[in-house]
């Protein structure tokens, strides 16, 4: 039971992460008045890509193949330190949030270099935007985590999320609301969802993530899609862990509560995507800096 509970959060993530994408797409379809693809479509897509052959660009080096592998591997091991609401992470130590940031950055760096490896101006453009927005999102991420650390008096993810109880919400309501907003914006920014980028379009209309992975094919594309789902899951659980302060110390109750929270988050993201337009590119930095400011204000509230 102990092993089960400590591994529950990475296993849940590995199984259910693509389902989040399915729920988002179904929500968007329903809002638009369509029936939409099946909920499990992301799984079928990944399975299909895994069976397909590959084509490589003429100028590419082995780095092009290595990029998606490193990205997926770093996100997969990051699951070991991400707590799932009240359920602790598999590993928990002071400073694990720094390791999480490092692993996310490593995955991004690998993806960006694989994109630049094609020598295509199109993918260079995507890579340039990715590093731009990531450089602004990183301080926002640390601001949010630092505020949560200040609220709970700990700087390890599992105790932080165990400490966000109903009681904590009563004591630090404004702070937690602001941090939750930051984390929601980061979920949209880091996973390049609307209003930052439109993942539904391909080619020239997409601006960031899909641009970078345009020339990948076959199993590499499958690993990119799966890694994208995992990243959506990681940032999603950081957000849901804050807004669902249900800590019953019962494994099953906590697990069900947080899974429901993730489903609601997916519906919410789908609704945001259906009701908002994509920002112009020059407005995205303001959006991210705004998210950072929210957390800065939250921290100042906690300071006094």
Partner 1 sequence: MLDFAAAIVLLLLGGLLAVVFCARSVVCQTAGQFGAIAGSALGLVSAIRVLLTGKADGISGVWYMPGGGLHFQIDALSAFFLLPVFGLSILTALYGRSYLTDRRSGYALAGSWFHLNMLTAGMALVIAAHDGLLFLLAWEVMALSPFFLVAFDDRKASARKAAWIYLSATHLGTAFLLIFFVLLGELAGTSDFDGYAAALRANPALSSMVFMLALIGFGSKAGIVPAHVWLPEAHPAAPSHASALMSGAMIKVGIYGLVRALTFLGTPQPWWGWLLIALGASSGVLGVLFALAQHDLKRLLAYHSVENIGIILLGIGIGVLGLAEGIPLLAVIGFAAGLLHVLNHSIFKGLLFLAAGAVQHAAHSVELEELGGLLKRMPWTGAAFLIGATAIVGLPPFNGFVSEFLLFYSGFFAVVQPAVNLASAGLISLVVMGLISGLAAACFAKAFGIVFLGSPRSPQAGEAREVARPMCAAMAILALLCLVFGLAAPIVVSALDRVVAAATGLAIGGVRDQLATVTGPLTIAISIFAVLIVIAASAWAIRSRRMALAAVPTGPVWGCGYPHPTPKMQYTASSFAQPLTTQFHFFVRIREALVPPEGYFPATASYSSESSDPFLRRLFAPAFRWFDHLSRMEIIQRGLVNVYVLYLAATLIVLLIWGSI
Which residues inside 268-287 make contact with partner 1, applying CB under 8 A?
285
Residue 209 beta carbon to partner 1: minimum distance, rounded to whole angstroms: 15
The torsion angles phi and psi of 84, rounded to 5 degrees, stand at -115, 85
Comparing CB distances to partner 1, the nearer of 131 and 256 is 131
- Given 103, 238, 243, 269, the residue binding partner 1 (CB under 8 A): 103
**Interface positions, 195-214, toward partner 1 (CB under 8 A):** 204, 214
Q: What is the length of the chain?
A: 304
Residue 257 beta carbon to partner 1: minimum distance, rounded to whole angstroms: 27
- Given 29, 31, 39, 77, the residue binding partner 1 (CB under 8 A): 77
Euclidean distance between CA atoms 123 and 209, whole angstroms? 9
CA angle 225, 231, 236 (to 5 degrees): 130
- 7: which 2 tokens? 């591994």
With binding defined as CB under 8 A, does residue 99 bind partner 1? yes
Comparing CB distances to partner 1, the nearer of 27 and 71 is 71
DSSP state of 32: T
**Interface positions, 2-31, toward partner 1 (CB under 8 A):** none
With binding defined as CB under 8 A, does residue 225 bind partner 1? no
- Could you check whether the bond before residue 121 is cis, i.e. omega within 30 degrees of 0? no
- 19: which 2 tokens? 């389902």
- Given 11, 40, 131, 260, the residue binding partner 1 (CB under 8 A): 131
Q: Pick from 191, 237, 213, 229: which is nearest to 82 by CA?
A: 237
With binding defined as CB under 8 A, does residue 290 bind partner 1? no
Residue 39 beta carbon to partner 1: minimum distance, rounded to whole angstroms: 28
**Is the Cβ–Cβ distance between 302 and 295 less than 8 Å?**
no
Euclidean distance between CA atoms 235 and 266, whole angstroms? 12
Residue 197 beta carbon to partner 1: minimum distance, rounded to whole angstroms: 14
**Interface positions, 133-172, toward partner 1 (CB under 8 A):** 134-143, 145-146, 149-150, 153-155
């Amino acid at each position: 039971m102990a092993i089960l509970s400590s591994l529950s959060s990475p296993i849940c993530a590995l199984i259910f992460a693509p389902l989040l994408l399915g729920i988002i797409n179904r929500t968007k379809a329903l809002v638009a008045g369509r029936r939409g693809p099946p909920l499990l479509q992301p799984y079928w897509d990944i399975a299909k890509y895994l069976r397909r052959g590959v084509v490589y660009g003429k100028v590419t080096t082995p780095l092009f193949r290595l990029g998606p592998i490193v990205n997926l591997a770093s996100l997969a091991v990051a699951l070991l330190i991400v707590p799932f609401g009240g359920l602790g992470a598999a590993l928990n130590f002071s400073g694990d949030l720094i390791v999480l940031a490092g692993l996310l950055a490593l995955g991004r760096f690998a993806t960006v270099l694989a994109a630049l490896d094609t020598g295509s101006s199109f993918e260079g453009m995507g890579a340039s935007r990715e590093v731009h927005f990531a450089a602004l999102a990183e301080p926002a991420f640390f601001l949010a985590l630092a505020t949560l650390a200040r609220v709970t008096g700990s700087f390890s993810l599992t105790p932080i999320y165990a400490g966000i109880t109903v009681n904590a919400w009563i004591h630090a309501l404004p702070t937690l609301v602001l941090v939750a907003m930051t984390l929601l914006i980061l979920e949209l920014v880091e996973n390049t969802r609307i209003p930052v980028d439109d993942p539904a379009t391909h080619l020239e209309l997409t601006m960031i993530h899909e641009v970078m992975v345009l020339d990948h094919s076959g199993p590499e594309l499958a690993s990119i899609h799966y890694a994208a789902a995992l990243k959506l899951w990681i940032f999603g659980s950081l957000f849901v862990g804050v807004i669902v302060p249900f800590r019953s110390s019962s494994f099953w109750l906590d697990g069900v509560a947080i899974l429901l929270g993730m489903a609601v988050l997916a519906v919410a993201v789908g609704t945001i995507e259906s009701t908002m337009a994509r920002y112009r590119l020059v407005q995205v930095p303001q959006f991210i800096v705004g998210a950072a400011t929210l957390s800065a204000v939250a921290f100042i509230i906690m300071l006094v």
